[in-house]
Chain A
Amino acid sequence: MLRQLRRRCADAARRVLAAWQRFREFGFHSEREARGLALLKAWLSREQLAQYRQYRHFDVTGCHSGKRYRIRHGVSMNVCELDSLGRPLVGRCFVPRDNLVAGDVMLAQKIALETNEHGVLLVAKTFSPRWRTIHTEV
C-alpha cells in the first residue's frame, strides 16, 4: 500500500517536472499576453528585438540625456539605468496607469524613454537594482 502510494507520488512528480520543462522550453502565454508580446516585437528595433529574444531584456537610449536604460521582461521594477560599462546603476520604476500585460508595459516604457525621458523620470520612483549581471538565455 505504502509502496503503491510512493510510486504514484513519484509518477505525479515526474509529470509535473515534465510539464514545467515544457513550459520553460516553449513558454506559455495567454492570448492577451501573446498579443502584447507581438505588439512589442513589432515596435522594437532590429537590435532590440535580437537582444530581447536572446536575453529577455533590451536596451534603449534616453532621448534627452543619451543615457542607456535596460528594460527587462516584466510589469514593474523592470527598468534600470546603466552605467558606462553597461552595469545596472539605479532602478527606475514607472508603469502605465492601466493594468497591462508585460509586452505592452515594456513597449510603453520604451516609447516613454525614447520620446519623453525627462517627463517619465519625473514620475518614476527609484530602487536599488538587484538584477543578476549574467545574461539568461531564453
Chain B
Amino acid sequence: MATQIIMDHSGDSRHEFNPADAAALLEAEQRFNALMREGYTAAVRSPTGDPTVIRKFDPKAEETLFVPRFVGG
C-alpha cells in the first residue's frame, strides 16, 4: 500500500491506495495534481532518508507528503 499524507489542521490526513489498482492509482494521481494546483509541495524520502521534492506524480512512491505553501511569519 502507498500513502499520501496531507498536512492539515487535524495533524494530517492520510489516503492509502494500492499502486497495483489502476483506478486507485488514477485517483491518487488526480489528488496529487489537485494539491499541486492548490500550491502544496510534494515530498518523498530518498533511500538515504533525505526529503526530495517531486513535481510529478510518482506511482512508485510509498509515501508522499504534501506541505502547504509558506508565508512570512
Contact = CB atoms under 8 A, between A and B. Distances in A.
Contact of A76 (B5, B41, B49, B73): B73
Interface stretch (A5-13, A14-22, A119-127, A129-137): A119-127
A101 B11 CA distance: 6
A115 B70 contact: no
Interface in B1-48: 5, 7-12, 39, 41, 43, 45
A95 B7 contact: no
Nearest to B67: A108
A39 B51 CA distance: 13
B43 A35 contact: no
Size bin of chain A's contact surface: 20 to 34
Interface in A101-121: 101, 103-104, 107-108, 110-112, 114-116, 120
Size bin of chain B's contact surface: 20 to 34
Given A77-B73, A125-B72, A98 B41 contact: no
A31 B9 CA distance: 11
A36 interface: yes
A123 B71 contact: yes
B59 interface: no
A100 to B, nearest CB: 6
Given A43-B65, A114-B50, A116-B41, A108 B11 contact: no
A76 B12 CA distance: 19
Interface of B: 5, 7-12, 39, 41, 43, 45, 49-53, 65, 67-73
15 contacts: A35-B10, A39-B65, A94-B71, A94-B72, A95-B73, A96-B71, A97-B69, A100-B68, A103-B11, A104-B11, A104-B12, A108-B70, A111-B43, A116-B41, A124-B73
Q: State the 5 A-B residue pairs at the shortest beta-carbon distance, nearest first.
A: A35-B11, A93-B73, A32-B11, A96-B68, A125-B72
